Amino acid sequence: MPASDYDSACLPDILPLYYRRLFPFSQYYRWLNYGGVQKNYFQNREFSFTLKDDIYVRYQSFTTQNELEKEMQKMNPYKIDIGAIYSHRPNQHNTVKSGTFQALEKELVFDIDMTDYDDVRSCCSAAEICPKCWTLMTIAIRVLDRALRDDFGFQHLLWVYSGRRGVHCWVCDKAARKLSVAARSAVAEYLSLVKGGDETMKKVVLSDPIHPFIRESLVVVERYFPLYALQDQDILGRKESVDKVLALTPEDILFRTCSRANSSIAQANSSPHFISLKSNLQQDFQNEKKPENRWNLLKDQAKRKQATSKKGQHFEKEIMLQYCYPRLDVNVSKGVNHLLKSPFSVHPKTGRISVPIDLKELETFDPFAVPTISMICEELDRPRTVEEEDKSEETIDKENEKDAAESRKIRDYKRTSLAKYVKCFDQFLDVMARSWKGELLKKSDLQKDF
Amino acid sequence: MQFSSRTKKFTTNSQTELYSHPLLFYVQPPLENISLVEFETFAVERLKLLKTIENLGVSYVKLSDQYIKKLEAESKALNFLYRTEATGLLPNGGSETLVYTTEVDLFRYRFNDLYPKQKLEFLHRNNLQYDTISVEEKKALHDKLVSSSYAFSGITVEDQDFYKVPFQDALDLVRLRKVYLKAGYVYIPHQEIVTIVLNDFRTRLSKALALTARSLPAVHSDERLQPLLNHLSHAYVGQDYSNQKNVGKISLEQIDSLSGKSFPLCMRQIHQSLRENHHLRHGGRMQYGLFLKGIGLSLEQALQFWRSEFIKGKVDADKFDKAYAYSIRHMFGKEGKRTDYTPYSCMKVILSNAPSQGDYHGCPFRHSDPELLKQKLQVYKVSPSGIIQILELIKGMHYQLACQKYFELTHNVEEASFSLNHPNQYFIESQKVLAGGRDIKRETDAPQKPQENSTKAPSAAPEAAANTQDVAEMTEELDSFFQDA
């Protein structure tokens, strides 16, 4: 079913169904409870709900999974955001003296939004996305995932499709959750290369020597650049986009590069600025229409320049990074108390579920194939197959009454296209559970000592 | 007060030992009794010093030779005292971050000033001991270490000791990518160790500031200290341009013409893009919205202003009321924790929240490509020689001076009689110049034409009167100092 079949007007009708039968509450609680290692970790977590007509309720908090379920089923939020773990229960924040209610911990989060790439993608703008520009998100995930793991040593990274035009990353390691505001902003700045707003043309400037982190990132970008930038975006095809690229090439050395071809002319004019690299390149580009070859011409110029000038010049790398390097919304990552849309929340505009992305299948991840709420609710109405029927009989026999409702819910989502995303979430949680198992053991050992 | 009871537990010996070191982390509060007069002098001296450092940070690149020279001269002149932790009592609204950053700057300077031996001693005394990496490890990482440290050739890497430190302890180096980072550890060459110490100092300082902020109510109830503290924090932060005196003196129709005549370039730029795009992202709304509030827009006017512009674009009135009106009321302290936000100073605009894709806020002198800025200035009819002067100042990173030059050029004044540190100050000064001689004339006209009053420049607000007579004298001196600074 295409996503266009979703109509936001029907949300009030299908949200109750989603929260009653499909939302993966037990996994969700398992995640945010973090094995119960720290006291009140789940209880002091802020949730905030966006209700019908954009009514925004902050500082919700719940003591148990059951309470969370009941409340969500009652409120049927259009959107769920997750905030920080506070010093007190967020829903009682008014009862404690102001100043003592403080955000203590939160996952380190990253928000990458396609709107921030508007100056370098020609296919869409603002909130629109298409398969041509989605590669940018793939690159972003590859670059950041590598850096967060290899450089910072984090292990538990949950990548989530936001439901519309971007991706989020939740770094769930204990060390990441405890980072201070200053540390978060340092991490975010370490990872940011593209700087400047609409008033800046050249947004990536590399200094010499190139830091190992940038080298590693370049390896990723170079892998995608030909197919993404040269073919899909065709940045060296149309005149306007060519001009944009040329504007990023340096003015100064210009003449040295053409002196090889026209040394006599250059000498005759004797002004180094007379013939510029740009016009030179522009001429070359006129004879050469194929984007790949044009790019090679540009790379040649860069190589020549590197060979001749003392300090490294990296303008071809800078162009690649400006077009492809992930653009972070730094403010989201900085604040401990910043809210971010929760996984498995619905995106009210598109109806798509905010689902975890399986990095093993990242290259084939298609945001348009992510199920909408109307789609999975419809799938629920399909008649069961005999096989499914048999299985469910069995499980009901095995389990007692109380668990029956729970297991029905599990069976429910398994019958929809949400299943594979919940499975991915489960795998993520299993790996993480191993880390806190060790910690719990240590704790209980300590208790026995006494 | 509590302080006196604590004093008795410690012998004076530990006291003298504490102050015998040239540099302190301020782990322990001052334990001896100090008189109120002493407290006041310490606090004022410290404040003067911090203010000086802040001003230096604006005009010079931190830790450049010039900066250090200036700082040296200034700090000697002020004869600062190590013991004035009185500043810990200062946090009061906006001054907190200023105290914080300048204290860190001061500490950095003083640490760099120590002899290598003293540095090591300092590290040991404060339990900051990290492991150096083995020769084998250094060999294995050789290339990475070379390419991640600016000033090293391969040979110097071999001679250097590298420390392996959790990245959380060396945030400044991580932020700037000045070190090699692997699996959560940074590899720091010996000479960069100051960063770690600074980081530690910062943590302690912010903890101390937070703690003092919590005990502030108790201190404020002490009627001997309260007027003094109030005045100190006010004088330190300087004019914050939040005063509500000019509310309603500006009409919405005037904004377009004012933006050309009296807005600093940053606000003019935001205003223009707002008119063109009928939208502004959050950073722009905050910077511009608070500025407008500062020049006298009332909440009602602000809501009307933003709504009328936004609904020309993609946002309909309903969406505006739901998604944007809240943040505007928030700015005026009518929502959330009800803080009455003050307009951003130049420092804040220049240093925090740099604009990214789709943003128009920030400082044009800091955040624009010089080429684009040049074009813009040409459009605004700044003379070619003026443009060269401005670009020259930018090259030296004197963004506020560049803006001041822009003021002088566009207002035809030889040399501005103020030192610019706030967009709202720019506006007030501009209005003063434009009103010029007419100001006196209007005063006689005013009774007949009351509406015209709205264009009259709001006079710079006099400092709030000190609460008691005996502090008045002292504070007067302080005022004059800060106004000069």
Distance (Å, whole) CA A430 – CA A31:
10
Judge whether A214 is closer than 8 Å to chain B, CB to CB. yes
If we measure between CA atoms, which residue out of B256, B294, B260, B254 comes closest to residue B410? B260
Quote the pLDDT of residue A311.
Answer: 63
Element (H, E) at B165: strand B162-166
Give the range among A88-92, B201-205, B413-417 with minimum mean pLDDT.
Answer: B201-205
Cβ atoms of A406 and A26 closer than 8 Å? yes
Quote the pLDDT of residue A400.
Answer: 57
pLDDT category at B457 given cuts 50, 70, 90 is: very low
Instruction: Find, in chain B, the residue whose alpha carbon is nearest to that of A117.
Output: B357
Report whether the peptide linkage leading into residue B30 is cis, meaning its omega lies within 30 degrees of zero.
no
pLDDT category at B39 given cuts 50, 70, 90 is: low
Could you tell me which residues are beta bridge partners of residue A158? A170
What are B382's two structure tokens? 């700044």
Amino acid of residue A364? T
Distance (Å, whole) CA A304 – CA B446:
72
Tell me what the pLDDT averaged over chain B comes to.
Answer: 72
Interface of B with A in 344-363 (CB under 8 A): 353-362
3-state secondary structure of A205: coil
Most B-contacting residue of A55, A114, A151 (CB-CB within 10 A), to test interface: A151
Per-residue pLDDT averaged across B401-421, rounded? 87
**Spans of chain A, pLDDT less than 50:** 1-4, 253-275, 396
Cα distances from A277 to residues A202, A248, B387, in angstroms, run 17, 11, 27
To the nearest whole Å, the CA of A156 is away from the closest chain B CA by: 13
Amino acid of residue B335? E
Judge whether A105 is closer than 8 Å to chain B, CB to CB. no
List the single residue in B175, B357, B371 with the smallest CB-CB distance to A189: B175
Amino acid of residue A186? A
To the query of whether residue A46 is one of the catalytic residues in this protein, the response is yes
Quote the pLDDT of residue B203.
Answer: 77
Amino acid of residue A133? C
Judge whether B181 is closer than 8 Å to chain A, CB to CB. yes
* Tens-digit pLDDT profile for residues B286-324: 999 999 998 989 899 999 999 999 999 888 888 888 888
3-state secondary structure of B355: coil
- Per cent of chain B over pLDDT 70 is 60
Strands (DSSP E) found in A129-195: 157-161, 166-171
Cβ atoms of A128 and A113 closer than 8 Å? no
Give the range among B43-57, B70-84, B407-421 with minimum mean pLDDT.
Answer: B70-84
If we measure between CA atoms, which residue out of B331, B298, B291 comes closest to residue B427? B291
3-state secondary structure of A51: strand
* Tens-digit pLDDT profile for residues B352-392: 888 888 889 999 998 988 888 999 999 988 999 999 999 99
Contact residues on chain B for A180, CB-CB shorter than 8 A: 168, 203
Is B397 annotated as ligand-binding? Answer: no
Catalytic residue among A107, A113, A316, A412: A113
Contact residues on chain B for A153, CB-CB shorter than 8 A: 182-185
Contact residues on chain A for B371, CB-CB shorter than 8 A: 201
* Number of CB atoms found within 10 A of residue A389's CB: 11
* Tens-digit pLDDT profile for residues B166-179: 999 888 889 989 89
Residue B69 has pLDDT above 90, yes or no: no
To the nearest whole Å, the CA of B122 is away from the closest chain A CA by: 24
To the query of whether residue A111 is one of the catalytic residues in this protein, the response is yes
Q: Say which residues have a Cβ less than 8 Å from residue B397's Cβ, sequence separation at least 6.
A: B61
Residue count of chain B = 485
Instruction: Find, in chain A, the residue whose alpha carbon is nearest to that of B183.
Output: A153
Is B188 annotated as ligand-binding? Answer: no
Could you tell me which residues are beta bridge partners of residue A171? A108, A157
> How wide is the angle at C-alpha A20 spanned by C-alphas A16 and A26, nearest 5°?
135
Q: Say which residues have a Cβ less than 8 Å from residue B328's Cβ, sequence separation at least 6.
A: B285, B289, B299, B302, B303, B306
Cβ atoms of A12 and A402 closer than 8 Å? no
Quote the pLDDT of residue A267.
Answer: 44
Quote the pLDDT of residue B109.
Answer: 73
Q: Which one is predicted more confidently, B127 or B361?
A: B361
pTM score of the predicted model: 0.72
Interface of B with A in 152-171 (CB under 8 A): 167-168, 171
Residue B2 has pLDDT above 50, yes or no: no
Residue B215 has pLDDT above 50, yes or no: yes
Contact residues on chain A for B364, CB-CB shorter than 8 A: 199
Per-residue pLDDT averaged across B168-197, rounded? 86
Contact residues on chain B for A200, CB-CB shorter than 8 A: 367-369, 372
Q: Say which residues have a Cβ less than 8 Å from residue B327's Cβ, sequence separation at least 6.
A: B282, B285
List the single residue in A182, A195, A329 with the smallest CB-CB distance to B171: A182
Quote the pLDDT of residue A156.
Answer: 97
List the single residue in B184, B354, B361 with the smallest CB-CB distance to A153: B184
Quote the pLDDT of residue B206.
Answer: 74
Is B279 annotated as ligand-binding? Answer: no
3-state secondary structure of B332: coil
Q: Which one is predicted more confidently, B236 or B5?
A: B236
Whole-complex ipTM? 0.86
Judge whether A53 is closer than 8 Å to chain B, CB to CB. yes
CA A96 to the chain's CA centroid: 35
Residue B475 has pLDDT above 80, yes or no: no
Interface of B with A in 391-450 (CB under 8 A): none
